[in-house]
Amino acid sequence: MTNHAMLIDLTQCVGCHFCEAACQANKGLPADTQLVTLRFNEFTGEADAFSQEMGRKQCMHCVKPACASACTVGALRKTADGPVVYDAARCIGCRYCMYACPFQVPAFQWDRTLGLINKCDMCADRLAAGEQPACAAACPTGAILFGERDALLEEARQRIMKAPDRYVHYIYGEREAGGTSVLYLSDTPFAELGFPEVGYESPAHANEEVMHATPTVAAGMMLALTGIYWTVKRRNELMHRHPIDFEVEEAEHVAENR
């Protein structure tokens, strides 16, 4: 199965917001809800090129997603063909995924009586039908390239090599949080565009290492407690006294000596 990914070349983005509109139309979202957000960065302020000023935020579709590791009920899941999908029928709205995500992507439906999570699923239904995601299909400049992850990484490297003056020499998403299936190229340092600086290891790793210690801790604790119980009991028996009497006398002894 193909490991689908998206390469977004921000130098080709003209900020038309077609991707946002296509996403909303495809998912039938209300006007104030977006799974993809373009962010206009005024502070870079070079008026001759829109492309220098666009940031973008959507689910990064991590290779090893922290949200899926954290989700209480397993409503978030990385599929074999790339997308991190969300099962709204399972979700209990605990919002742990929002803290787990190193990119602060999942958003909550605060204004609903029974709120759920909003998150891009790379149009998993369209992928299954052999189409590309709605945002990629809608982009008029071809800034959103859809394809296989390794091929897109190679394409990104080629673009940087061919125009080393045009790009910052960095593929955002190649290694962030253990690698993501959404990759970015830019001519402006990513930090200036509002992309978070994220470590190269997926937070899911540390989490799962700790969580997998659970059975050992449980078994060890049970054994230790039982062992301590028998040891103390035996000690008391060896003193040829009823354990309660012994403890009381000891307590009195302590009290007298104070």
Partner 1 sequence: MWQRIGKEIRTMPWGVWALAALMVFGLSVALYRLYAGLAVTTNLNDGYPWGLWIGFDLFMVAFSGGAFTLAAIVYVFQMHEFHPAVRPTVLTGLVGYGSVLVILVMDLGRWDRFYHFILFPNINSALFEVSWCILLYTLVLISEFSPVVCQKFGWEQLGCFMKKIALPLVIVGVTLSTLHQSSLGSLFVVMSERLHPLWYTPFIPVMFFVSSVAAGLAMVIGGATVSRWVFKRTLPRNLVAELGWFLPWVLGFYLILKVGELLAAGELGLLAANDFYSTLFLAELAIGVVAPLILFSFAAMRRNRNWALFGAVLVLIGIFINRFSVTWWALKPIEGYFYFPSWQEIAIQVGVLSGAVLVYTLVGRYLPLFEGTVDVERAVRISKGAPAAQPAGD
Interacting residue with partner 1 among 108, 168, 174, 175 (CB under 8 A): 108
66 counts as binding partner 1 under rule CB under 8 A? yes
**Residues in CB range of 189: below 8 A, 6 or more apart:** 168
85 counts as binding partner 1 under rule CB under 8 A? no
Using the contact rule CB under 8 A, the part of the chain among 48-56, 141-149, 158-166, 194-202 near partner 1 is 194-202
Q: CB 74 → partner 1: shortest distance, Å?
A: 4
SS3 content of the chain, % helix, strand, coil (to 5): 40, 15, 45
The label of the residue with tokens 């001759």 reads 48
Interacting residue with partner 1 among 7, 70, 123, 124 (CB under 8 A): 70
191 counts as binding partner 1 under rule CB under 8 A? no
Which two structure tokens, joined as six digits, stand for 64? 């090893």
Residue closer to partner 1 by CB (options 90, 166) is 90
Q: Count of H helices and E strands in the chain?
A: 9, 9
Query: How crowded is residue 230: how many other Cβ atoms within 10 Å of its Cβ?
Result: 10
* Residue 10 CA: distances (Å) to CA of 2, 51, 145, 187: 24, 6, 11, 7
Interacting residue with partner 1 among 2, 49, 50, 73 (CB under 8 A): 73
The label of the residue with tokens 């990104």 reads 156
Q: Which of 134, 197, 142, 201 is CA-nearest to residue 7?
A: 142
Q: CB 2 → partner 1: shortest distance, Å?
A: 26
Binders of partner 1 among residues 213 to 232 (CB under 8 A) are 214, 217-218, 221-222, 225-226, 228-229, 232
91 counts as binding partner 1 under rule CB under 8 A? yes
Interacting residue with partner 1 among 104, 131, 200, 239 (CB under 8 A): 104
Binders of partner 1 among residues 138 to 177 (CB under 8 A) are 177
Phi, psi of 81 (to 5 degrees): -95, 20
Residue closer to partner 1 by CB (options 48, 209) is 209
User: What string of DSSP letters covers 43-111?
Assistant: GG--TT-GGGGEEEES---BSS-HHHHH-TT--EEE-TTS-EEE-TTT-----HHHHH-TT---EE-TT
What residue ranges bind partner 1 (CB under 8 A)?
A: 66, 69-75, 90-96, 98-100, 102, 104, 107-117, 177, 194, 196, 198-199, 203-204, 206-211, 214, 217-218, 221-222, 225-226, 228-229, 232-233, 236, 243-244, 247-248, 250-252, 254-256, 258
